Amino acid sequence: MSGSAQPKSQPAHDEIPTGDSPTPLILIPTYNERENIEALSQAIARARPDAHALIIDDNSPDGTGALADSIAASREDRFVLHRPGKQGLGRAYLAGFAWALAEPRGYTHIVQMDADFSHDPRYLDALIERCAGPGAADVAIGSRWVPGGGVENWGLHRRLLSRGGSLYARTILGLKVRDVTAGFVCYRREVLERLALEEVEANGYGFQIEMKHRCARLGFDLQETPIVFPDRARGDSKMSPAIMLEAIGLVWKLRRKPVRSPADQPT
């Protein structure tokens, strides 16, 4: 069923819990992740049994979408969103945000997560709980570049590239976040509802920079929690020179452009 998720029962919007009882949804974009997706679903279930997961597949030629359908058929808390083709990481997450926020779904916390185990499910609890309860963050970021965080099996060139990219974006945009390109992120529902998501431009990894910039400019509280980020064990990386060039140019555009919430839009 192209462009739509399998119809299953969802928590009603008027049943959204408050305070210390989050109802989390994990968004997992996939393209050729057949080797990882079933094991990841099981690992999420062990780490955070109350979490639902939405697999957003871009018509993977390796059969990831069909396997995701099989996983969803076997569990009431797994769903699949099929898209017609590869359209970029940012577009996949925006489609997932729209699905998560649609009535009558009652998710209070929405988490971005890679499918390749670079984002270890054991950190899910810390991310989600950072955004729950009194004094909670609006956005929790799994960070490689804060004390306690780090990377595994990365060469020096990749380390310098990642750290340098974050420093570059932080400096130009005036962000306090240290890991600006981090992709393991938990948002409170209210944050996504206040962002003008239709104005988000980035398709590749620049999406991570743009989302943090937009959240910070609207005054949301972004907090980092340490994670260790290993290199993927199976499958191929989706990073490319074109994606990196997009991110480099994007930060200057973001610096010049105002950030609006839906309430600011003309009617």
Residue 17: per-residue pLDDT: 41
Is the pLDDT confidence value at 239 over 70?
A: no
HSE-CB at 249 with a 13 A cutoff on CA atoms is 10
Q: To which CATH superfamily is domain 13-257 assigned?
A: Spore Coat Polysaccharide Biosynthesis Protein SpsA; Chain A (3.90.550.10)
3-class SS at 131?
coil
- pLDDT grade for 140, boundaries at 50, 70 and 90: very high
Q: How far apart are CA 182 and CA 184, in angstroms?
A: 6
Distances (CA, A) of 63 to 105, 151, 179: 28, 30, 33
- pLDDT grade for 162, boundaries at 50, 70 and 90: confident
Tokens of 160: 């310098």
Kindly report the length of the chain: 267
Supply the DSSP string of 207-259, one letter for each residue: HHHHHHHHHHHTT--EEEEE-EEEPPSSS-----HHHHHHHHHHHHHHHHS--
Higher-confidence position of 160 and 202: 202
Q: What is the mean pLDDT of the chain?
A: 86
Residue 63: per-residue pLDDT: 97
- pLDDT grade for 16, boundaries at 50, 70 and 90: very low
Choose among 181, 239, 172, 167: nearest CA to 210.
181
**Full-model pTM:** 0.86
Is the pLDDT confidence value at 128 over 50?
A: yes
Within the chain, residue ranges assigned H as helices are 34-47, 64-74, 89-101, 124-130, 156-173, 189-194, 206-217, 241-256
Is the pLDDT confidence value at 113 over 60?
A: yes
**Mean pLDDT score, 47-52:** 97
Q: Is 65 exposed, middle or buried (0-12, 13-18, 19+ CB in 10 A)?
A: buried
User: In this prediction, what percent of the chain has a pLDDT beyond 90?
Assistant: 64
Is the pLDDT confidence value at 267 over 80?
A: no
Is the pLDDT confidence value at 154 over 60?
A: yes
**Mean pLDDT score, 27-53:** 97
Of the candidate ranges 130-139, 217-226, 249-258, the one whose mean pLDDT is the lowest: 249-258
**What is the DSSP-derived secondary structure letter of residue 109?**
E
- pLDDT grade for 259, boundaries at 50, 70 and 90: confident
Q: Is 47 exposed, middle or buried (0-12, 13-18, 19+ CB in 10 A)?
A: middle
Residue 135: per-residue pLDDT: 85
Longest dimension (CA), the chain: 51
Unique residue bearing structure tokens 């932080």: 170
Distances (CA, A) of 132 to 25, 54, 99, 160: 14, 21, 21, 34
Residue 185: per-residue pLDDT: 98
Choose among 14, 32, 35, 31: nearest CA to 23.
14
Residue 241: per-residue pLDDT: 53
Unique residue bearing structure tokens 């390796």: 62
Residue 14: per-residue pLDDT: 36
- Domain limits of the chain? 13-257
